[in-house]
Each structure stands twice: as structure tokens, then as C-alpha cells.
């Protein structure tokens, strides 16, 4: 079969099936063999692995994954792509296509059915309109995932791996780095998609840590504090936390900051994850007193 990365083959498929690209579903199909291999190589797939793909499109990445993995489970929201996938994936007997919205299906149950004894790998050229919710769903639900190799908007990838004190650093950096070790695999220009998106892309690997990077007694409180600290980015930490909906009074905040040696005039963007973890446990203690 001819390669699905060929623009000519895509045009033929589009015309044969009367397929119409839906912009709101983030349908930008990959037409670059080199990038395709970087994604697949980055995930270090073996014949033991069950791989979950989100949004197979016409099956370009799916084919390459099926060559390497034990099984590929591909979840596609757009029904009109199903007859196309039926044809393009017909030569493989280790692919299961599921029609559904990845944000709505019970992924935990699906993993339990498809790979009960081994963590899965997640690989995708993600639809950009829902990149963050999809990634956070896998992380927050603590699903048995070994790593995720995803193509996402460049700006989002930059935020995920940003360090304290940089302009890209924010609650997404902290949330992602709490659960994973992010590593950029490659930058991707707009020109390798049909149709071309408006933004540049990056392939990023999120290696899921065995345990979150820091230990806190109350995870929800940790992320509420982080959100509050960045909600008022230009304010000092003391003012940002005091003016948030955390419900902590100023004196209590001052006391906790002082106890952990964190200067009250610092801004949220200068604190690292370890410092946020100290604050979360410190505030929890005060709340319980």
C-alpha cells in the first residue's frame, strides 16, 4: 500500500470518500515520514506494548505503530473517518478502532480490558483544541501509562517543560512536572500537515514518574495554591494568596511563608515545585489546627 504521508494519496482518499476536514476537530494530517518515525522511535515501543492512539485520522501513525506494537487501540471521534480507517488498516490484525470522544470514554476500563497486566503507551498527533485536557486526564486519573509521546502546539510544549522564573512557567509546567519528566523530541514546522495549522508544533515525550515528583498530603490543595499564585501573576505571593478564593487570612499566610523561609514579596512564578509542596503541607497543618 502507498504511504499515507503522501499528499497525493491523502487527496485521493479525500475525494474517494468525500471526506471533509473539520477544523474544529483539529484535523491536520501528518505528511512527513521523517517526523512520523521520530514520534514512533521516541516512544520506544516493543512487541509487548499495547499502544493507545488518540485521533488516528486516516491511520498514518496507526500503521507505523501497529508494525512495532503488540496491539494498537485507536480512539477517533469522527465517524466519517471510520470507513477510511477500515480500508487503510485492513492489512493489520492488531488494531482496534474505537469511535468515541477520548474525553468522555472510560479510559481506565478500556486499559483494564486491553492491557490488564502492563502499563500502556500513549502516542498521538493531538487535536490542538483539547491538548491540555486530554493530557491532564491521563495524568490526573493516574492511569497505568508508561509514557506519552504527543505532538502538540509548540507554545504548550514550551510551557510544559518551563523552569521557574521564565516567561513560560506556570501552573501547567508544575502540573506536568509533578507527574512526569518532559523531554522535547523534535520541533515540527507547519508545512508537514494537510491542511496546514496556524501554529508550529513540537513532539514531546512525557515519561510518567513512578511516584509524583514531590509528596504532599493534599494534592488538591497543592494545585489550588499553585492556581491562586499564578492567578494574580503580577502580585506578590502574599497578596496573590490572600486575594484568592483559598480562604486563608493574611496573617496565617505570612506565618506559613515565614516558617518555610519563603519571602512574602516573591512572586508565584519564582517558586519551584518543592517550595509549593512545602506550602501545601504548611497550609494544611494550619487549616487543621
> What is the contact surface with ligand SAM in residues (CB under 6 A)?
25-30, 54-57, 60-61, 75-78, 81, 101-103, 125, 127, 130
Smallest distance, Å, CB 197 to ligand SAM?
Answer: 8
56 vs 182 by CB, closer to ligand SAM: 56
Sign of the dihedral through C-alpha 186, 189, 192, 193: positive
7 vs 165 by CB, closer to ligand SAM: 7
Smallest distance, Å, CB 39 to ligand SAM?
Answer: 8
Smallest distance, Å, CB 153 to ligand SAM?
Answer: 11
80 vs 166 by CB, closer to ligand SAM: 80
The C-alpha atoms of residue 91 and residue 26 are separated, in whole angstroms, by 27
139 vs 279 by CB, closer to ligand SAM: 139
Smallest distance, Å, CB 223 to ligand SAM?
Answer: 23
Exposed e or buried b per residue across 4-34, where buried means at least 16 C-beta atoms within 10 angstroms of its C-beta? bbeeebbeebbeeeebeeeeebbbbbbbeee
54 vs 246 by CB, closer to ligand SAM: 54
- Between strands 145-153 and 180-188, the pairing is unpaired
223 forms beta bridges with none
Smallest distance, Å, CB 271 to ligand SAM?
Answer: 33
Smallest distance, Å, CB 138 to ligand SAM?
Answer: 13
Q: Which residue is nearest to ligand SAM (CB)?
A: 55
49 vs 76 by CB, closer to ligand SAM: 76
Amino acid at each position: 500500500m502507498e504511504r499515507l504521508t503522501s499528499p497525493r494519496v491523502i487527496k485521493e482518499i479525500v475525494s474517494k470518500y468525500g471526506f471533509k476536514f473539520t477544523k474544529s476537530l483539529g484535523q491536520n494530517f501528518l505528511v512527513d515520514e521523517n517526523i512520523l518515525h521520530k514520534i514512533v522511535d521516541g516512544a520506544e515501543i516493543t512487541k509487548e506494548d499495547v499502544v493507545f492512539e488518540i485521533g488516528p485520522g486516516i491511520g498514518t501513525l496507526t500503521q507505523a505503530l501497529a508494525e512495532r506494537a503488540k496491539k494498537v487501540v485507536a480512539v477517533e471521534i469522527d465517524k466519517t473517518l471510520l470507513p477510511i480507517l477500515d480500508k487503510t488498516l485492513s492489512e493489520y490484525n492488531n488494531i482496534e478502532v474505537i469511535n468515541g470522544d477520548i474525553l468522555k470514554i472510560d479510559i481506565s476500563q478500556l486499559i483494564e480490558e486491553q492491557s490488564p497486566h502492563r502499563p500502556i503507551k500513549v502516542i498521538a498527533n493531538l487535536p490542538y483544541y483539547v491538548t491540555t485536557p486530554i493530557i491532564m486526564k491521563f495524568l490526573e486519573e493516574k492511569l497505568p501509562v508508561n509514557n506519552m509521546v504527543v505532538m502538540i502546539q509548540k507554545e504548550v510544549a514550551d510551557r510544559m517543560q518551563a523552569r521557574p522564573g521564565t516567561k513560560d512557567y506556570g501552573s501547567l509546567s508544575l502540573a506536568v512536572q509533578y507527574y512526569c519528566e518532559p523531554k522535547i523530541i523534535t520541533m515540527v514546522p507547519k508545512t508537514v500537515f494537510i491542511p496546514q495549522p496556524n501554529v508550529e508544533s513540537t513532539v514531546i515525550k512525557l515519561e510518567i514518574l513512578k511516584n509524583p515528583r514531590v509528596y504532599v498530603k493534599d494534592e488538591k490543595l497543592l494545585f489550588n495554591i499553585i492556581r491562586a499564585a499564578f492567578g494574580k501573576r503580577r502580585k506578590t505571593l502574599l497578596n496573590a494568596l490572600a486575594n484568592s478564593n483559598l480562604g486563608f487570612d493574611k496573617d496565617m499566610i505570612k506565618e506559613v511563608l515565614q516558617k518555610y523561609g519563603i519571602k512574602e514579596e516573591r512572586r508565584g512564578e519564582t517558586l519551584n515545585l518543592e517550595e509549593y509542596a512545602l506550602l501545601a503541607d504548611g497550609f494544611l497543618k494550619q487549616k487543621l489546627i
